[in-house]
Structure formats: C-alpha cells, structure tokens
Amino acid sequence: NNYKSDSRGALIVLEGLDRCGKTSQSSRLLSFLERLGYLVESWRFPDRNTGVGLMISSYLANKSQLDDRAIHLLFSANRWEKRSLMETKLKSGTTLIVDRYSYSGVAFSSAKGLDIEWCKAPDTGLLAPDLVLYLDIPPEKAAERGGYGDERYEQLEFQRKVAHSYQLLHDASWKTIDACLPIEDVEKQLGEMALDCVTSCQKGMKALSLLWS
Ligand code: TMP
C-alpha cells in the first residue's frame, strides 16, 4: 500500500485541569485506536518512575518542599529524560497518547506567578504534539467530581488560575472538548479527532516539529 518512509506515529496530548477526566479518556482512546489495529502506547507526565519522577511525586504529596522554579525545572527534566525514547517510538510508527505534557508544565507554574516565557524556555526543543486535546471543564465542576485528593495543586482557587493560564497557551494544534458532556460523547469526539491526526501522520503528511513552534 502507500506506506511512505516519513510515515510515523502521532504525538497526541491530553490536557486539562485536575479531575477533568483525562486519565479515563486516555485509556478509552488507547483501546479505540488499538481496536482499529494501530500501534499505540499510553504515556503520562509526570512519569513518576524515574529518579526525577520520584522527587516530583514526593513534592506533589507535600512530603518535600521545593522552590517554584526548581520544581518547574524538574517537571521539564522529566520530559527531557523521555525525549529520545519518544522520538524513537514515533519514528517506528507508534502513536503516543500522552496524559499531560509541556502545557501542564507552563500552566501550573505560571499559575503560581512565574513568567510564562520563563516557564516555556526549558521545554524548547522537546517534540511538539501533533494534536492537543483540551478537556474543558469549569474549575467548580471539576472540584465537585468526587472531591480532590490531597495532592498539592488540587484546590479550587489554584485550579481557577491554572484554567486561566491554559487559555494563554492555545495554538494551532489545540482542540477543545467540552468535558462536561457524557463520558461516551467526549470519548467519541476524542476518537474522531485522534483518528484524523493518526491518519495524516501515517500518510507522511506531517513532519515532526519542535516546541514551541
Ligand atoms: P497527574 O495528577 O496528572 O499525575 O499530575 C500531577 C500534578 O502535577 C497535576 O496537578 C499537574 C501537575 N503538573 C505540573 O505542575 N507540571 C507539569 O509539568 C506536569 C506534567 C504536571
């Protein structure tokens, strides 16, 4: 068939506030694409299994304190640790569905008052997503969903600021989905958008690019 040498997997990122439904939608999207026969893996950031990831995990659980800039750089380093594996996977034809990426990095840190350009700088040169699926939910609604856990950022006032920061990050790769719709409707929309993206990457219609293009 018309397999081209620049055929590759797609880098698809899910973003949104805490408790917007990203994690369960990622696994639904994974099964949807698998059922269609695509090579696909589900990833997430922070990846808590690396050395850097353990430091992040302890910070999020309020078990350690870190300067706002220091934790920001750790989140970024955690993505850099996975960059070359990410590129290898994509080039070998595997689509990656990634739960949070650089946009979370910038949205959460800039919500603390850090300069947005300063926040973006350390992620410059990471692979740019082909598609960012933003699960849009009012912060109040997210807070109602089974309540927040005890992680550091799960507070209404802070999530309001994060929502505002996300608004400043929309670019051409973004699609916003109403995360208040029934789960199945959200799933269906995400599936259609992802499939479109996977198809054009497979046909070699899209070159890999770098942040922040
Ligand atoms: P998680 O609940 O999706 O595992 O994410 C943990 C928290 O870390 C979540 O509140 C978002 C936040 N976060 C950042 O502050 N910066 C980042 O770069 C990432 C990936 C997540």
Contact 23, 141 (CB under 8 A): no
Asked whether residue 210 is domain-assigned, the answer is no
CA distance 67 to 148: 24
Distance 7 CA to ligand 1 centre (A): 31
Q: Any idea which of 2-11, 12-21, 123-132, 166-175 has the lowest mean pLDDT?
A: 2-11
Asked whether residue 106 is domain-assigned, the answer is yes
Q: What is the mean pLDDT of the chain?
A: 96
pLDDT of residue 97: 98
| Ligand 1 and 134: CB distance under 6 A | no
| Ligand 1 and 71: CB distance under 6 A | no
Asked whether residue 3 is domain-assigned, the answer is no
The number of folded domains in the chain is 1
| Ligand 1 and 16: CB distance under 6 A | no
Pocket test for ligand 1, best of 23, 60, 120 (most atoms within 8 A of CB): 60
Distance 52 CA to ligand 1 centre (A): 13
Distance 79 CA to ligand 1 centre (A): 12
Q: Which residues make Cβ contacts (< 8 Å) with residue 159, sequence separation at least 6?
A: 17, 18, 139, 142, 143, 153
Rounded-to-5 percentages of helix, strand, coil across the chain: 45, 15, 40
Contact 104, 15 (CB under 8 A): yes
| Ligand 1 and 108: CB distance under 6 A | yes
Asked whether residue 192 is domain-assigned, the answer is yes
Q: Any idea which of 3-12, 50-59, 103-112, 167-176 has the lowest mean pLDDT?
A: 3-12
Q: What is the CATH number of the domain that holds 22?
A: 3.40.50.300
| Ligand 1 and 78: CB distance under 6 A | no
**Atom 6 (ligand 1) nearest CA:** 46
* Residues spanned by the domain of 191: 11-202
pLDDT for residue 1 is more than 50: no
Mean pLDDT, residues 23-32 taken together: 97
Asked whether residue 2 is domain-assigned, the answer is no
pLDDT tens profile 82-136: 999 999 999 999 999 999 999 999 999 999 999 999 999 999 999 999 999 999 9
The pTM for the full model equals: 0.97
pLDDT for residue 5 is more than 80: no
